[in-house]
Structure 1
Amino acid sequence: MPLPHLNIYRHDRRTRTLITLAGEIDLETVPLMRATFERCLRDGVRIIDVDLTPVTFCDCSGLNTIIEAYLHSTAAGGTLRLHYPPPMLARMIDLSGCGFMLMGLPAVPGPTPLQSPLSAAPAPLPAACFEAVHQLAPTVSGGAL
């Protein structure tokens, strides 16, 4: 059995962690991702930032796992936020309408807030530039897929 094509790096600071996913997220690799999110919650981590910069592919099973992790972290009194999703995943998030949950974006399209949704969160981890929120491009109405 070949090794999964996903590497997961976790950097903790008390009750906050930065998880960097690198590679492909699909049916074969989501169990590893799910186990990482579950372990964070078991370890008492309540703020989970997920850096998706090095993700090269993500299918709907990956998005489902991310939404599941968001729901579990929220139920435990925490948060989970995505940072820098690749264009394909950003499009799936946009189409599914879950950007307001996963990325701190407004639920209803409107003017961009002057203050970043992450500014109310505790002090950022010392990781390079993962705090900026990726803004999704508006979808075009009336088009066919």
Structure 2
Amino acid sequence: MSLAQLTVHRHDRRNRALITLGGEIDLESAPLVRASLERCLQDGIRTIYVDLTQVTFCDCSGLNEFLRAAQRITVVGGTLRLHHPPTTLARILDLADCGFLLLGLPFGHLPPPLGDTPAAPLPAPRHRSVPLTSVLLGDVR
């Protein structure tokens, strides 16, 4: 049995953190995700951005950790936002109808389902897209 490879990088700025994950998030690596998010809370971080650009796979055990952390962070007045979820996680979020909790989208405005038929395009967002590092560093006006 081989251990799943997951890398975790954290960059803090005041009470915000950007966590960049890379590799696979599954039953074996989900405890590392939990520990990383818990450590942020212990360190007084109240806004956590999780960049999943480099994640190749995420199953329901990863989703479970993100939901658990989002609940704990919300209780203390903070937020957890996932950015660039891999296809597997996007599909799970769609099926569970819980993307609004983690993606920062208004309820009922989730991305189109990942089915075989193309969905109608979503209207362009009213805000400009900014790199996560700009959000973390407070450069967004």
Q: 1:11 to 1:34 in 2, by over 3 A?
A: same
Cα distance, 1:108 vs. partner? 1.7
Distance 1:37 1:105 in 2: 21
**TM-score, structure 1 as length reference:** 0.76
Matched, 1:5 2:5: yes
Q: Deviations over 1:99-134 (max 9, x none)?
A: 111011121248757434999xxx6125xxxx9xxx
Q: 1:4·1:29 contact (CA, 8 Å) conserved in 2?
A: yes
What is the aligned length? 124
Aligned to 1:115: 126
Cα distance in 2 between the residues matched to 1:116 and 1:91 = 25
Q: Which residue of 2 aligns with 1:136?
A: none
**Preserved CA contact (<8 Å) 2:3 2:28:** no
The CA RMSD measured in Å over matched residues stands at 2.5
**Aligned match of 1:44:** 44
Structure 2 counterparts to residues 94-133 of structure 1, below 5 A? 94-109=94-109, 112=123, 114-116=125-127, 124-126=135-137
In the aligned structure 2, how far is the partner of 1:63 from the partner of 1:113?
A: 27
Change (3 A) 1:77 1:48: same
Structure-2 separation of matches of 1:74 and 1:109: 21
Tell me, in whole angstroms, the C-alpha distance in 2 between the residues paired with 1:22 and 1:14: 24
CA deviations 1:64-106 (Å, max 9, x no partner) are 1111011011011100000000111111111111111101112
**Following TM superposition, where does structure 1 have runs of at least 4 consecutive aligned residues deviating by more than 3 angstroms?**
1-4, 109-119
CA distance in 1, matches of 2:124, 2:80: 20
> 1 CA distance for matches of 2:67 and 2:31?
14
Where do 5+ consecutive residues of structure 1 fail to align? 132-145
Aligned-partner SS, 2:24: strand
Where in structure 2 are there 5+ consecutive unaligned residues? 111-121
**Aligned residue type for 1:38:** E
- Percent sequence identity is 56
Q: Which residue is equivalent to 2:28?
A: 28
Letter in 1 for 2:79: T
